[in-house]
Amino acid sequence: MKTKKFCLTLLIAAAFWLTPLATPAKPLVWQGMVSFNFDDGYRNVYDNALPVFQKYGVVASFFPVVQYILDQESYAVTWQQLAECQQDGWEIGSHTMTHPDLTTLTDAQIDYELGQSQKILEQHGVNAKTLVFPYSQYNARVLDYTTRYYENSRADVGSNGFDCDRYHIVSQEVTNTTTPEQAIAWINEAVKNKKWLVLMMHQVVTGPPADYEYNVTDLEKIVAYVANNNIPAVTMQQALAIRDDSLGPNLLKNPNLDKLDKSGWAKDWTRNNAAQVTVTPPAVTRVFSSGNRLRIVGSSQQNVASTATIKLPGSGKKQGYFFSFFAEVDVGSPNAGAEIWLDEFDKKGNYIGGQWLGGLYVDTFGMPGFLYQPSSPQVGEVIIDIYSLAGCNVTFSGSNFYFGFIKPSKNCAPILNLLLQH
């Protein structure tokens, strides 16, 4: 998932962090983190917020509506100002061309809003990897197009755990009635629970804030708190890079289903039903779904695909694991879904038990994640089963499978504790 270019971006961003006030004391591993997001691309964010972030050596993410810049609207940021934000380590993403409710558009219109905005940003030196859905409105069709162009997308309300889906990043809006103390309380809660909190704002003003505005003095109190307490303030891209860096090597055999036997089935994988469990070539290109797809079509019986036996390198230790893949799930009837089950064995291959890791019950395009903690120190091997429920109209497609351990480190220990509480 990582590229050299990406690492370079991180290095550059890290260099900007190394200011006297906000030097991250620890190596970057998953922990409580904060992102500051500014939606719509208002010029007053450049005028008022950027100097505050510069003062404390903190970065933010900026999501302009591209047509507002092209039209040189007086309230919109300019290309030059965006470039200055980027030079300061800010992430610039896309908030579409014209800020429509994407769910109301035709396929061609969605494609234009997402693809054209990325293209124009690129023409101005911005490699937009994150999309923010206008009005937080999205559905499977919108995600279908999003996953063709972007690495991440933001929607809905909440805070993000280690197992968050990078196409369903959630945020907390800081409104004109949110006090700095309230925002700081949210940050403290995220730090305590090892969550990644995304604070979302629109305009930043010097006077009393109206709707969709925030006062710059109050903003400074929040930014200063983050900097002075060494709480990692990261861009969206950085947060997900930190998660990637927190993971060990892929332990799955044939994770991309690119090795096939004579019947066209994936080597090292097993299935209970050759009619409904198949490998299919890709239909479209997506950022995180290259190559073949595992396809499971629901029928009267349960249809299941299983991985090869995975030997756990952390056997006997308190070790957490993470399972994820690119998923396209079409749920054709109520209460239908695709589920993930994990079988546990001891080192000699004797069956110990199983764990249900989770399920996908709504139309999905994205990268769901599942956490796993062995039920006892005796677990030495596991097999993961992906299955459709019996009698359900559901079509599951999965690709680019990953299963690996969450790197053991002091900072990751609380994640394991959270797992153990389940």
- Whose Cβ is closer to Zn ion: residue 134's or residue 255's? 134
Cα 399 to Cα 57, 58, 117, 326, 374: the distances in Å are 39, 36, 27, 5, 24
Smallest CA-to-CA distance from 81 within 49, 46, 52 is with 46
* Minimal distance, residue 65 CB to Zn ion, in Å: 7
* Minimal distance, residue 174 CB to Zn ion, in Å: 14
- Whose Cβ is closer to Zn ion: residue 40's or residue 91's? 40
* Minimal distance, residue 40 CB to Zn ion, in Å: 5
Which residue of this chain has its Cβ atom nearest to Zn ion in the complex?
A: 39
- Whose Cβ is closer to Zn ion: residue 155's or residue 266's? 155
* Distance from C-alpha of 156 to C-alpha of 162, rounded to nearest angstrom: 17
Neighbours of 362 (CB within 10 A): 10
Subset of 125-184 contacting Zn ion (CB under 5 A): 134
Contact between 113 and Zn ion per CB under 5 A: no
Smallest CA-to-CA distance from 129 within 12, 202, 238 is with 238
* Distance from C-alpha of 330 to C-alpha of 365, rounded to nearest angstrom: 9
* Minimal distance, residue 212 CB to Zn ion, in Å: 9
Subset of 28-57 contacting Zn ion (CB under 5 A): 39-40
Supply the DSSP symbol for 24.
-
- Decide: residue 238, CB within 10 A, 0-12 exposed, 13-18 middle, 19+ buried: buried
* Minimal distance, residue 99 CB to Zn ion, in Å: 6
* Minimal distance, residue 6 CB to Zn ion, in Å: 26
* Minimal distance, residue 147 CB to Zn ion, in Å: 21
Smallest CA-to-CA distance from 234 within 32, 6, 26 is with 32
* Minimal distance, residue 136 CB to Zn ion, in Å: 9
- Whose Cβ is closer to Zn ion: residue 94's or residue 388's? 94
* Minimal distance, residue 101 CB to Zn ion, in Å: 11
- Whose Cβ is closer to Zn ion: residue 40's or residue 165's? 40
- Whose Cβ is closer to Zn ion: residue 112's or residue 341's? 112
Give me the 238-277 binding string for Zn ion, x by CB under 5 A, dash otherwise: ----------------------------------------
Q: From the CA atom positions of the chain, what is the Rg in Å?
A: 22
- Whose Cβ is closer to Zn ion: residue 99's or residue 286's? 99
- Whose Cβ is closer to Zn ion: residue 134's or residue 358's? 134
Residues contacting Zn ion: total by CB under 5 A: 3
Which helix (H) or strand (E) element contains residue 357? Answer: strand 351-360
Q: How many CA atoms lie within 13 A of 283 on its CB side?
A: 9
* Minimal distance, residue 329 CB to Zn ion, in Å: 28
- Whose Cβ is closer to Zn ion: residue 198's or residue 386's? 198
The answer to whether the CB of 367 falls within 8 A of the CB of 327 is: yes
* Distance from C-alpha of 79 to C-alpha of 84, rounded to nearest angstrom: 9
Across the strands, what pairs with 35?
Answer: 198
- Whose Cβ is closer to Zn ion: residue 136's or residue 270's? 136
- Whose Cβ is closer to Zn ion: residue 37's or residue 160's? 37
Long-range contacts formed by 122-128: CB under 8 A, 24+ apart: 124/79, 124/82, 124/83, 125/83, 125/86, 126/82, 126/86, 126/92, 128/92, 128/93, 128/94
Sign for the pseudo-dihedral over CA of 374, 307, 368, 6: positive
Across the strands, what pairs with 382?
Answer: 310, 344
Helix axes 216-228, 180-192, angle to 10 degrees: 30
* Minimal distance, residue 24 CB to Zn ion, in Å: 30
Residue ranges in contact with Zn ion by CB under 5 A:
39-40, 134
